[in-house]
Chains A and B, each alone.
Chain A
Amino acid sequence: MLVDDERHFIDELEDMIKEELPFTVLGNCFNGIAALKAVRDLNPDVLITDVLMPGMSGLELVRKIRKLKPDLPIILMSDNPSYAVNGYELGVSGFLLKPLAKDKVHETLNRLLCV
């Protein structure tokens, strides 16, 4: 499941995933509140979320999801590398730096498949 307030990032990411990886994109959300609901309804295997979004930030979203599903693998993405530290604090499984590089996306998702 993908979460980003900027539509073009979601489209780009979805294309990268569809092209090669054995994942199906269950749904896309454009803000944290919708994402929280969707996680409950769709029960995804992996969630990829942007950090800076209006309303609820990606970090807040991760904190809320942790209470709901402590083991759901989450990948953060941002154009600001300093959020990677927050990623570790929150126990996320991966961090993708924007602009997204296809091989990094594949590598990160592949790694999740391996664990």
Chain B
Amino acid sequence: MTGLELAECLSAMSPAISFIFITAFNNYATEAFELNAVDYILKPIRQERFNKAIEKIKREIEEREKSFVTPYNDVSIRAFGKMVVSSGDHILKWKRQKSSEIFAFLLHQQGTPVHKEKLCEMMWPEYDPQRALTYLQTIMYQLRKNISEIGDSGIAIDYADHCYCLRLSGVRYDVDRFLDALDQAYRSDEVSADAMLHAEQLYTGAYFEEEGWIWAIGRQQNLAQKYLKLLESIIRLKMSSEDKEGALYYIQKWAALDVYKNQNKYLSWVSEHIGVDAAKKLESIIFDDN
């Protein structure tokens, strides 16, 4: 095995590893660049030149460490509203729009592997397949590198049998947490108010609302329906426990969702229990966009 082959194997295993090549030949330097080697030193090695390489690698490691201030833990993924992947205070910056979409699509598959050709077709339907595949590989390379920025994050992209698959372990993902809380809220015979309010807080917007991805629409509607149902349960609960302010707060949230169901019921309840002014205000929220 040559050093170049070794480097290739190792970087596939651990993308964060850095290399320096040492050789008596000057004709492998282009390959070294391709493998993203930090340096390439010609034999015989001069001390001065070697020190320079060490400095270089030190700088690179420092810079990499700078980019993740809070390492390795508390990784969370948000899909409600705008997609955000973060580790503590550090928010992952997507280098390209396509890489965030591919990440989101793999997330959307909930652990089911996706064939590379399917990904290509979806992302670049107008490109010839070979070219699309090159782009996909570049983006996957980037994406993995991107993810390794936040350290051993519990997020991994596996590749096997021509399929990519996103694996999460110990990552807080808001959609899962929302569904779990819902489960908890409705499981017991007695409706759990705490779990309901917890689920409500997790829904910070429609599923991938700000991204506008067509493939997400089905689940977006499904989750929105669940949320709507949840809001109505909370409103009923608040109304029955005479918590007027609480009820109004959730009725307003409900009204902003632009649904025309139960509106008269809520309007008359608000005008009866809170006041005509509040009802008028609510009415204007409901009919605002028209």
**Are A and B physically bound partners?**
yes
Which residues 1-55 of B sit at the A interface, judged by CB distance below 8 A? 26-27, 29-30, 32-34, 36, 39-42
Q: Count B interface residues, CB 8 Å.
A: 23
Q: State whether A110 touches B42 (Cβ < 8 A).
A: no
Q: Which residues of A contact B39 (CB under 8 A)?
A: 88
In the complex, per-residue mask of A70-88: 1 if CB is within 8 Å of any chain B CB, else 0: 0000000000011011011
Q: How far is the CA of A107 from the CA of B141 in the complex (A)?
A: 9
Which residues 141-176 of B sit at the A interface, judged by CB distance below 8 A? 141-142, 145-146
Q: Does B135 contact A (CB under 8 A)?
A: yes
Number of A-B contacts (CB under 8 A): 55
Q: State whether B33 touches A94 (Cβ < 8 A).
A: yes
Q: How far is the CA of A91 from the CA of B36 in the complex (A)?
A: 12
Q: State whether B142 touches A114 (Cβ < 8 A).
A: yes
Q: State whether B33 touches A91 (Cβ < 8 A).
A: no
Q: How far is the CA of A115 from the CA of B146 in the complex (A)?
A: 9
Q: State whether A88 touches B30 (Cβ < 8 A).
A: no
Main secondary structure of the interface of B (DSSP, over half): helix
Q: Does A41 contact B (CB under 8 A)?
A: no
Q: Does A97 contact B (CB under 8 A)?
A: yes
Q: Does B56 contact A (CB under 8 A)?
A: yes
Q: State whether B42 touches A85 (Cβ < 8 A).
A: yes
Nearest-Cβ distance from residue A10 to partner chain B, whole angstroms: 21
Q: Does B109 contact A (CB under 8 A)?
A: no
**Which of A82, A85, A91, A103 gathers most chain B CB within 10 Å?**
A85
Q: Count A interface residues, CB 8 Å.
A: 22
In the complex, per-residue mask of A90-115: 1 if CB is within 8 Å of any chain B CB, else 0: 01001101000001101110110111
In this complex, what residue of B is CB-closest to A78? B30
Q: State whether A87 touches B29 (Cβ < 8 A).
A: yes
Q: Which residues of B contact A110 (CB under 8 A)?
A: 95-96, 138, 141-142
Q: State whether B142 touches A81 (Cβ < 8 A).
A: no
Q: How far is the CA of A103 from the CA of B56 in the complex (A)?
A: 27
Q: Does B225 contact A (CB under 8 A)?
A: no
Q: Does A55 contact B (CB under 8 A)?
A: no
Contact partner, A81, options B29, B36, B40, B146, Cβ 8 Å: B29
Q: State whether B30 touches A95 (Cβ < 8 A).
A: yes
In this complex, what residue of B is CB-closest to A108? B33
Q: How far is the CA of A5 from the CA of B141 in the complex (A)?
A: 33
Contact partner, A85, options B26, B63, B95, Cβ 8 Å: B26
Q: State whether A88 touches B40 (Cβ < 8 A).
A: yes
Q: How far is the CA of A97 from the CA of B27 in the complex (A)?
A: 12
Q: State whether B96 touches A81 (Cβ < 8 A).
A: no
Can you report 18 A-B residue pairs in the complex whose CB atoms are below 8 A from each other? Answer: A20-B135, A81-B30, A85-B26, A85-B29, A87-B29, A88-B41, A94-B33, A95-B29, A103-B138, A106-B135, A107-B141, A108-B33, A110-B96, A110-B141, A110-B142, A111-B36, A114-B95, A115-B63
Residues of A that sit less than 8 Å from B by CB: 20, 22, 81-82, 84-85, 87-88, 91, 94-95, 97, 103-104, 106-108, 110-111, 113-115
Sorted from nearest, which 4 A-B pairs have the closest CB atoms?
A84-B29, A88-B40, A95-B33, A85-B26
